[in-house]
Structure 1
Amino acid sequence: MRVVIAGAGAVGRSVARELLENGHDVLLIDKSPQAVSVVRVPEAEWLLADACEITTLDEAALERCQVVIAASGDDKVNLVVSLLAKTEYGVPRVVARVNHPNNEWLFNDSWGVDVAVSTPRLMSALVEEAVSVGDLVRLMKFSQGDANLMELTLPEGAALVGTRVGEVAWPQDTALVTIIRGSRVLIPDPDDALAAGDELLFVTAPAREPELRALLFPSSED
C-alpha cells in the first residue's frame, strides 16, 4: 500500500515508521527544511514542499495512493490536504489529525476526512479507559459512517456477568466486536459467557449510546 503523510513532525515520522515496518510504501511531505530529515526515517521517500499546493500533490502522485494522512500540527493545513486528496485525487482513505478539540466538528466527509484522530481527546479517553471500571468510555469517533468505538470493563456484580453473548438484546446499530479477557483477545461467540473484568469493545451509532448504556446499567437513569 502506498501512503502519503503530510507533516513530518514527531507524529508523522512515528506513523511512517510503523507503516514501513508493516511493509507499506511511505512518502513524507513537509515544507520545513528542519522537519525534512531523511536520516530519521531513511526507508521513506521525502519531499520538501507545501502539501497544500496542487503542484506538490501532483509531484507526490496522490492519484496512486491508497491512503493520505494529514498529520501536521496545523488544523487548517490538515483540512486543506484532506479536501484536496479526496476531491482532486480521489484518494480512497483520508486520515486527519485534529490538534485542537474545538475544531473536531470540521473534520468530516465535507472536508474529505474519512477518519479524524483527535490527539487530545484520544489521550483523555485512554486515561479514562485505563482507570475506569464499570463506566462506558468513548475511545474514538469514526467520521465515515457516524459511529463511535466504546469501551466498558465489566465490574463485579454487573447485570450482564454470566450472561451469554447471544442472549443479550444489543441495541440496533451496535456491535460487540471484541472481548479482552486478561491476555486473550476474543472474537465474541454467541455461547461466550461474559465475566467480571472483561473489557468489551463496541462500535455503535451515537444515537444508540443511551440504549447501550441503559442495557449495561439497567438501574441507572439516563
Structure 2
Amino acid sequence: MRVAIAGAGAVGRSIAAELIQNGHEVLLIDKSADAIRPERVAEAEWLLADCCELSSLEEARLDKCDVVIAATGDDKANLVTSLLAKTEFAVPRTVGRVNHPDNEWLFGEAWGVDVSVSTPRIMSALVEEAVAVGDLVRLFTFRQGQANLVELTLPEDSPYVGTPSGLVPFPDNCALVTILRDGQVYTPDAEQPLEAGDELLFVIPTELEDDLERLLAPSTHP
C-alpha cells in the first residue's frame, strides 16, 4: 500500500516509521526545509512541497496513493489536503488529524475526510475508559460517522451479569467485538456468560448508543 503523509513533524514521522515497519510504501511531504530530514526515516520518500497546493500534490503523484494522511499541526492545512486528495485525485482513503477540538465537526465528508483522529478526544476517552463503570465511552468514529467503536464496563448490578452473550438482546446493528477480562482478550462466544467488570467493546451506530447503555446499565441509565 502506498501512503502519503502531509506533515513531517514528530507525528508524521512516527506514523511513517510504523507503516514502513508494516511493509507499506510511504511518502512524507512538508513545506518546511527544516523538516526535511531523510535520515530520520531513511526508508521513506521525502518531498519538499506545500500540501495545500494542487501542483505540489500532482508532483507527489497522489493519484497513485491508496491513503493520504493529513498530519500537520494546522487544521486548515489538514482539511485542504484531505479535500484535494479526495476530489482532485480520488484517493480511496483519507485520514485527518484534528489539532483543536473546536474544529472536530469540520473533519467529515464535506471536507473529504474519511477518518478523523482527534488527540484531545482520544486522551479524554482513555481517561473515561479507565474510571467509568456502566457508562458508554466512545473510543473511535469510523468512516463518515456511520458507526463508532465504544467501550462499556459491565456494572455488578447489570441484569445481564451471568447471561451468555448470545442471549443478550443487543440492539440491531450492534456488534460485540471483544471482551477484555483480567488482562485477557476474549473473542465473543455466544455461550460465554458475561461477568461484572468485563470491558465490552462494540461497534454501533451513534443513534443506538443510549439504547445499549440502558440495556446493560439500567440503574444508571433509566
Q: Same fold (TM over 0.5)?
A: yes
Q: Distance in 2 between matches of 1:2 and 1:131?
A: 39
Q: CA offset at residue 15 of structure 1?
A: 0.7
Instruction: Kindly state the Cα deviation for residue 202 of structure 1 after the two structures are TM-superposed.
Output: 0.9
CA distance in 2, matches of 1:190, 1:144: 30
What is the deviation of 1:142?
2.1
Q: Which residue of 2 aligns with 1:26?
A: 26
Displacement of 1:204 = 1.1
User: What amino acid is aligned across from residue 39 of structure 2 in structure 1?
Assistant: V
- Pairwise CA RMSD of aligned residues? 1.4
Residue by residue over 1:21-42, the C-alpha shift from the partner in whole angstroms, topping out at 9 and shown as x without a partner, is 1010110000011111111111
Residue 54 (structure 2) aligns with? 54
Offset at residue 167 of structure 1 (A): 0.3
Q: Distance in 2 between matches of 1:30 and 1:72?
A: 9
| 1:221–1:197 CA distance, 2 compared to 1 (3 A) | closer
Instruction: Name the residue aligned to 1:7.
Output: 7
What is the match of residue 219 of structure 1?
Answer: 219
Which AA in structure 2 matches 1:65? C
Find out whether 1:136 has 2:136 as its counterpart. Answer: yes
Which SS does the other structure have where 1:34 is aligned? helix
CA contact (8 A) 2:179 2:186 kept: yes
Displacement over 4 Å in runs of 4+: none
Alignment of 1:147-158 (within 5 A): 147-158=147-158
In structure 2, the gaps of 5 or more residues are none
- Aligned positions of 1:74-85 closer than 5 A: 74-85=74-85
The correspondence of residues 44-123 of structure 1 with structure 2, limited to 5 A, is 44-123=44-123
Under a length normalisation based on structure 1, what TM-score does the superposition of the two structures give?
0.95
Identity of paired residues, percent?
A: 65
Partner of 1:205: 205
For the residue of structure 1 that corresponds to 2:78, the secondary structure is helix
Q: Distance in 2 between matches of 1:218 and 1:154?
A: 11
Q: CA deviation at 1:145?
A: 4.7
Moved more, 112-121 or 127-136: 127-136
CA contact (8 A) 2:115 2:142 kept: yes
Instruction: Check conservation: 2:135, 2:213, Cα contact below 8 A.
Output: no
1:137-216 to structure 2, matched below 5 A, reads: 137-216=137-216
CA contact (8 A) 2:154 2:217 kept: no
Structure 1: which amino acid aligns with 2:90?
Answer: G
CA deviation vs aligned residue, 1:167-217 (integer Å, no higher than 9, x gap): 011112211111122333222121121122321111111111110110011
Q: In structure 2, how many angstroms separate the alpha carbons of the residues matched to 1:104 and 1:24?
A: 28
SS at match of 1:144: helix
Using the size of structure 2 for normalisation, the TM-score is 0.95
User: In terms of mean alpha carbon deviation, does 95-104 or 169-178 score higher?
Assistant: 169-178
Unmatched runs of 5 consecutive residues or more in structure 1: none
Q: Which amino acid aligns with 1:9?
A: G
The alpha-carbon distance between structure 1 residues 221 and 158, as it changes in their structure 2 partners (threshold 3 A), is: closer
CA–CA distance in structure 1, aligned partners of residues 21 and 185 of structure 2: 23
Range 152-161 or range 46-55, more displaced = 152-161
Check conservation: 1:107, 1:143, Cα contact below 8 A: no
CA contact (8 A) 1:164 1:192 kept: yes
Give distance in 2, aligned partners of 1:31 and 1:20.
Answer: 22
